[in-house]
Copies of this chain bind each other. A is one copy, B any other.
Amino acid sequence: MQFAGPLALRSGASISDYTLAYETYGTLNAERSNAVLVCHALNASHHVAGVYQGQARSEGWWDNMVGPGKPLDTDRFFVIGVNNLGSCFGSTGPMHVNPATGRVYGADFPVVTVEDWVDAQAALLDALGIETLAAVMGGSLGGMQALSWTLQYPDRVRHAVVVASAPNLTAENIAFNEVARRAIVTDPDFHGGHFYEHGVVPKRGLRIARMIGHITYLSDDVMNAKFGRILRSAVEGEVAGADYRYSTQDVEFQIESYLRYQGDKFSEYFDANTYLLITRALDYFDPARSHGGKLSAALAQARAKFLLVSFKTDWRFSPARSREIVKALLDNSRNVSYAEIDAPHGHDAFLLDDVRYMGVVRSYFERVAREFQQ
């Protein structure tokens, strides 16, 4: 959908003539009371659920969660997925032409924040004629958007489902983001963010960024269970048998092979400027900041009811961070449900099937549905 704007951004800049790519699933009811907005994290898009006809492996990124009869049941809810500004899956981003200059934005794309994305999402809901959301839902960075919705538009959201998220990034989180950004920015093919006009892509940097990301999405345990110290030659059944090659650059361990593959794949489709923008939005998010660092004071604005979910082996957004949000909400006597799931998969667990996790979300949405069906 096309927007004239201008949309005022937290940086002081604004953006005009922008597009938001979105998809919807299910049917908006007559009362317009069954809409659920699903917010995406770093490398996902508006394609939350379902498949594109004739396209193999085109399942939406949360297809196990969203669909007919699924925990977020599109037979009952009208679900909206939207690609955020600055991303690279259809909404206006750094690879598009800035209508004000006629040049590709590149590194000049304005820095966007979680709050800006929420404002853009609200404008989309206005255009769709939806005043109030039954729920807003997201995992990781998507959970930050869901939380921010309850603070920026407290009267427009009845429930917030915040999964594997945090009230802000720790120093370690910022540190990992910074290494990934440095890898991209110092790639000679980055050209200060204007690589498009040079006909190149900083793939080396993107690969490193993705490899770092992947390590932090998985738990140590699940990595050991999945890859351990298994050699690639053992997996490929080489006649010579599984022995060290005594090389510094060959792929020897399975985990190396997996990471290189993930890095290569990512560098083929993800935009380098988008990576910088989205990791910076993560760094900046900190609703307590304008309240003297007091999260309880910040969350006093929320009116929604909450479900928070965290995963015990998630060391990127640990359960302790979700509990900070729970505590701050309880300090304000808000209605909060909280589930800490003992899944082994680390941060990635929020995207994976786990019968307890899926059960908790399903039950919660059954409760949400009862509210508007009364």
Contacts and interface: CB of A to CB of B under 8 A. Distances in A.
Contact of A248 (B13, B111, B226, B260): B111
A208 B207 CA distance: 13
A249 B185 contact: yes
A354 interface: no
13 contacts: A111-B246, A171-B220, A171-B253, A174-B229, A174-B256, A175-B214, A176-B215, A178-B211, A178-B256, A179-B211, A181-B248, A229-B286, A249-B276
Given A175-B215, A175-B259, A211-B182, A170 B280 contact: no
Contacts of A41: none
A169 interface: yes
A183 B204 CA distance: 8
Contacts of A215: 172, 175-176, 179
Interface residues of A, number: 61
Contact of A208 (B111, B208, B263): B208
Interface in A142-185: 168-172, 174-176, 178-179, 181-183, 185
Given A208-B182, A229-B168, A246-B10, A283 B253 contact: yes
A182 B267 CA distance: 14
Contacts of A252: 283
A9 to B, nearest CB: 8
A247 interface: yes
Nearest to A219: B172
Contacts of A174: 229, 253, 255-256
